[in-house]
Amino acid sequence: MSAHATPVAVELVAVALALGLALVHLYGRRLRVLDHLPRSRWLSVAGGVSVAYVFVHVLPEIGRASTHVGPEPFGLAFLEHHVYLVALVGFLAYYGVERAAKRSTRDPDADAGGGLRVFWMHVLAFALYNLLVGYLLLHREESGLASLVLFGVAMALHFLVNDWALRQHHGDAYHARGRWVLAAAVLFGLGVGFAVPIGRQALAVLFAFLAGGVILNVIKEEVPEERESRFSAFALGAAGYTAVLLLV
């Protein structure tokens, strides 16, 4: 993979990856191999890849970015110095969304309106998530084609995990409306990326928030006993992608 790809080539690849990520949500349910228990080994591999990307690539990257702090408006300097707190905020935010969604499912007294509110809260939370991913296709601490492809592949596999979880939780409502919102959010994020570049330190803040969300969303799918997850597949995915990240 060329280290000297032109900016136009990188942008074209970013557009292709954004379209691919949107298609994961639109057509992910056609991968029937994912829909069974024990949990599909492919979902566990995808979860391992996502976590490896966060721990081996994203966290070191935001750590490096936080050391290059300049004057920033709106109090961003504090966040830039504490990017790991931002990652914690991302983790807690998505944990709170998941808890609310699960409570609504278990509550026998929940009305249809309450269930609809939780559905849209869930979908909009992941729309923000996807918007960040779309934006970061164009803006990362480490630029270049190799970094872009590694990010895109990791997020595509992570989107498979998220899409499967949302389909399991919301069923037909997600298929009819939610998947379209999430697919559009990736493309909208890419469009914002073309129109609104931001500074290096602010990028670290966005990456940190996304990292916290990725960790939570993978763990919540792999750890619960009822998922019957496959640790060997998860570890294989994590180890394999770690090797790729270290070698590229």
Q: What is the pLDDT of residues 79-116, one digit of tens each?
A: 555 778 888 899 999 999 888 877 766 555 555 555 78
Encode pLDDT of 211-237 as tens digits.
889 888 888 876 655 556 678 888 899
pLDDT of residue 199: 79
Which H helix or E strand runs over 204? Answer: helix 200-222
Encode pLDDT of 31-52 as tens digits.
654 555 455 677 888 888 988 9
Could you tell me which of 202, 232, 242 has the C-alpha nearest to residue 75? Answer: 202
Percent of the chain with pLDDT over 70: 79
Instruction: Tell me what the mean pLDDT of segment 186-198 comes to.
Output: 94
pLDDT of residue 220: 81
Q: With beta carbons less than 8 A apart as the criterion, state whether 127 and 181 touch.
A: yes
CA dihedral of residues 124, 129, 130, 135 (deg, nearest 10): 130
pLDDT of residue 73: 47
pLDDT at 161 over 90: no
Determine the number of helices (DSSP H) and then strands (DSSP E) in the chain: 11, 0
Cα distances (angstroms) measured from residue 51 to each of 64, 71, 107, 168: 19, 32, 32, 21
Instruction: Tell me what the mean pLDDT of segment 171-177 comes to.
Output: 90
pLDDT of residue 74: 47
pLDDT of residue 87: 87
Q: Which of 108-112, 165-169, 178-182 has the lowest mean pLDDT?
A: 108-112
pLDDT of residue 31: 66
Higher-pLDDT residue of 14 and 217 is 14
Q: How does DSSP classify residue 120?
A: H
pLDDT band at 179 (very low <50, low <70, confident <90, very high): very high
Encode pLDDT of 131-160 as tens digits.
999 999 998 877 789 989 999 999 998 898
Cα distances (angstroms) measured from residue 207 to each of 5, 35, 239: 23, 30, 22
Higher-pLDDT residue of 117 and 93 is 93
Could you tell me which of 80, 98, 92, 116 has the C-alpha nearest to residue 206? Answer: 80
pLDDT at 17 over 90: yes
Instruction: Tell me what the mean pLDDT of segment 8-15 comes to.
Output: 92
Q: What angle do CA 155, 158, 163 make, to 5 degrees?
A: 120
Tokens representing 79 are: 């966040």
pLDDT at 20 over 90: yes
Place of tokens 């790809």: 5
- Where does residue 75 fall: left (phi above 0), alpha (psi -120 to 50 degrees), or beta otherwise? left
